[in-house]
Amino acid sequence: MPTVSDDQASDGDPSVPGGSNGGSTRDDPPDEPSGEGGSGTGGRTSRAGRDLPAAIAVGVALGAAILGSLFTVRYLFIGIIAAAIAVGTVELAGALRRSVGIRIALVPVLVGGQAMIWLAWPYGRAGAVTAFVLTVLTCLLWRLRGGASGYLRDVAASVFAAAYLPLFAAFAAMLVPPDDGVGRVLSFLIVVVASDTGGYIAGVLRGRHPMAPSISPKKTWEGFSGSLTTGVAGGALSLTLLLDGQAWQGVLFGAAVVLSATLGDLMESLIKRDLGIKDMGTLLPGHGGLMDRLDSLLPSAVVSWLLLSAFVPV
């Protein structure tokens, strides 16, 4: 669930169009405060380099849609996942095509991606993995008509897209079916949101030491400590209050999800840096593209499913 703490801008590479000011990541502190409005855009851009009112509005709207689906017919949440992954896949395919001329097998990845997510509902891992394997085979065949030039490059990108988006997202879908599925999904989302928010606040207020300057120059160790603190607290509360778990399990769960969310953020930063782009898209005002909001959620869904399956067996 996107929050105001999600990153909106580039990874700060001066060679990236639109990214010369250093951009912002989830816990990015400002370079230099530029007055109450931030960076001189009529007061609308925050100190972290985003259109803060738009970011808040979009985050609240998406959060309301997610919570509404969970507390009405919880399987609607799988539909939200499926729709988000379809949009994210199109954004990633467009970024690859425009930036480096890579053409993924979009139709097979889109269709196969939906199969992974929806088959994970009744069949679990077996359904998702079977759909993934069939998607890979279809991508290999689909690309034959394009000839030998760029075949390996395009197929590799297609397989990457199929694994990175729908296969990872299928693990979020697998959180839904158990009787306590709402609690499992909420635990996953609460920790990610707590991590994002805590990291953003700590980074803006006291971020001084870069965490990965060559990847995301403004992500700081102080911000990561804020993420870890709030994420661990969110995990401990979620597992004890929403699920039949122990506090120590919640602490481990929170720490693991914070780590996966942070790594997911850094991985997408590397992808965008490699492609020379600021955002994956422009769909969400104040946020960028939908892919820019999924970066921490996708790997965290895998980690959440694995740990919750171990700590709170169905």
Each domain of the chain, given as residue ranges in start order, spans: 1-73+179-314, 75-175
CB atoms within 10 A of CB 95: 21
The pLDDT, as a whole number, for residue 26 is 42
What was the pLDDT predicted at 58?
67
Indicate if the alpha-carbon torsion angle 22, 23, 24, 29 is positive or negative.
positive
* Tens of each residue's pLDDT in the chain, 314 residues: 444 443 433 333 433 333 333 333 344 433 333 333 333 334 445 554 556 676 677 678 777 888 888 888 889 999 999 999 999 999 999 999 999 999 999 999 999 999 999 999 999 999 999 999 999 999 999 999 999 999 999 999 999 999 999 999 999 999 999 999 999 999 999 999 999 999 989 999 988 899 988 888 888 999 999 999 999 999 999 999 999 999 999 999 999 999 999 999 999 999 999 999 888 877 766 557 788 889 899 999 999 999 999 999 98
Intra-chain end-to-end CA distance of the chain, in Å: 24
pLDDT of residue 143: 95
Query: Does the reported pTM lie above 0.85?
Result: no
CA gap 231, 190 in Å, rounded: 8
d(CA 146, CA 134): 20
- pLDDT at 289 (0 to 100): 78
How many residues make up the chain in this entry? 314
Distance CA 187, CA 192 (A): 9
Distance in angstroms (rounded) separating the CA atoms of residues 56 and 75: 26
Tokens of 39: 């960076």
φ and ψ at residue 211, rounded to 5 degrees: -85, -45
Helix (H) and strand (E) counts for the chain?
10, 2
pLDDT for 285 equals 60
> 197, 4 in Cβ contact below 8 A?
yes
Supply φ then ψ for residue 181, to 5 degrees: -60, -35
Distance CA 204, CA 267 (A): 21
pLDDT at position 51 is 61
- Which helix (H) or strand (E) covers residue 217, if one does? strand 216-220
Buried b (16+ CB within 10 A) or exposed e, 269-296: bebbbebbbbbbbebbebbbbbbbbbbb
